[in-house]
Structure 1
Amino acid sequence: MNRALIVVDVQESFRARPLWAQISNPEIAERVNRLVALARAAGDLVVWVLHTEPGSGDVFDPESGHVRLFEELGAPAEGEPVLHKTSHNAFTTTNLQQVLTEAGVTELWVCGIRTEQCVETTTRLGSDLGYRMVFVTDATATNAIGDLSAAAIVERTEAVLRDRFARIATVAELEAEQKAPAA
């Protein structure tokens, strides 16, 4: 089975917004880096996705200079695609499906910013396209929305994805599985 890690929107655009002060997981880069190391060690494809809103004049406009990966993630390795999307999911406005098909990928691990928005939407669409999906919940981040706390949003997202669209996993669980000897 070929696998890919999809890193969705872990970009400076979010840190440039005042809302970043209330993000649920400000240390998301540390967990994403652990997943990237795990994927690379297994020979899995790592795909980086950045959200863009060209011409908007805001932090998602490429002209702002904020549409770039968090510095602490380091540069993508040679051969790791960096895709720019303009939709909520990583498939619709990119060639992600083509990249995955050409690589023979059948399973996706998904992480990133806005647990209930771009990460969840990518997970749902990936499931609909036939990929075996793993939603790495502790490698996502979000903010409260109205009366819903970030924790409640994460809980809701896990509940609606679990066993319908994706397996819910943590970074530590995936690390333990990779270290376990094959049966």
Structure 2
Amino acid sequence: MNRALIVIDVQESFRAGGLWETISDPKITDRVDRLVRLARRAGDLVVWVLHSEPGSGNAFDPALGHVRVMDELRREEGEPLIHKTAHNAFTTTNLQQLLTERGIRELTVCGIRTEQCVETTTRVASDLGYGVTFVVDATATNPIPHRDAPAGLSAAELLADPRTLSAQEIIRRTEYVLAGRFATLATVAELEAAAGAEA
């Protein structure tokens, strides 16, 4: 086994945070679960990463109970669970050590948010010399307010502002900046088809 699936921040914090209704794919757990099952069948390591902001009082504060894998997904015994406090999954964790100890050089990444923690992890992993597959349809994100928008917009206000960058545009731009530079892009179906061809 020299590959790992990194499941990034597919956690209940996002549902508790107030903007879940704007998420690009409310059923992201369906595709993430397909990737997890695919990785397990191949004998690949599955690593679960959760974002944590201790003491913040928000949905990412572990004291509030939302910093846990989304309820539809199941982590199996022996699959590492890592808590990070930075955007990427490497800087504040032992992820690189964990991967090095197992001889893993190929990563498949998925999770929430497309352009934030998943993209940032992809870029850092590429710079560290890992081959990275970014599974674009197993990521999700929210629209981003304009830099001059007031803080604390409701979902309705965010969507009503014509300056808001849509989730679909964020995903499209992320594909453009990662492909051929930091990662190979793939869909869940493409990876499933490739695994079937190898079997």
The question of a shared fold, defined as TM-score above 0.5 by the shorter chain, is answered with: yes
Deviations 1:119-175, CA, capped at 9 Å, x for gaps: 000000000000000000000000111321100000000000000000010000000
2:42 is aligned with what amino acid? A
Partner residue, 1:9: 9
Stretches of structure 2 lacking an aligned partner (at least 5 in a row): 146-163
Partner residue, 2:150: none
Partner residue, 1:70: 70
Partner residue, 2:21: 21
Matches within 5 A, 1:123-142: 123-142=122-141
CA displacement at 1:17 relative to structure 2: 1.6
Matched, 1:43 2:43: yes
Matched, 1:150 2:164: no
Instruction: Tell me the percent identity.
Output: 71
TM-score, normalised to structure 1's length?
0.97
Tell me how far apart the structure 2 counterparts of residues 111 and 84 of structure 1 sit (CA, whole Å). Answer: 16
Partner residue, 1:121: 120
Partner residue, 1:104: 103
Residues 17, 58 of structure 2: 8 Å contact kept: no
Question: Does the residue aligned with 1:4 lie in a helix, a strand or coil?
Answer: strand
Stretches of structure 1 lacking an aligned partner (at least 5 in a row): none
| 2:190 aligned to which of 156, 169, 173 | 173
1:117 is aligned with what amino acid? Q
Larger displacement relative to structure 2 (139-148 or 27-36) = 139-148
CA displacement at 1:112 relative to structure 2: 0.3
TM-score, normalised to structure 2's length?
0.89
CA RMSD in angstroms comes to: 0.9
Tell me how far apart the structure 2 counterparts of residues 172 and 159 of structure 1 sit (CA, whole Å). Answer: 20
CA displacement at 1:18 relative to structure 2: 1.5
Matched, 1:159 2:189: no
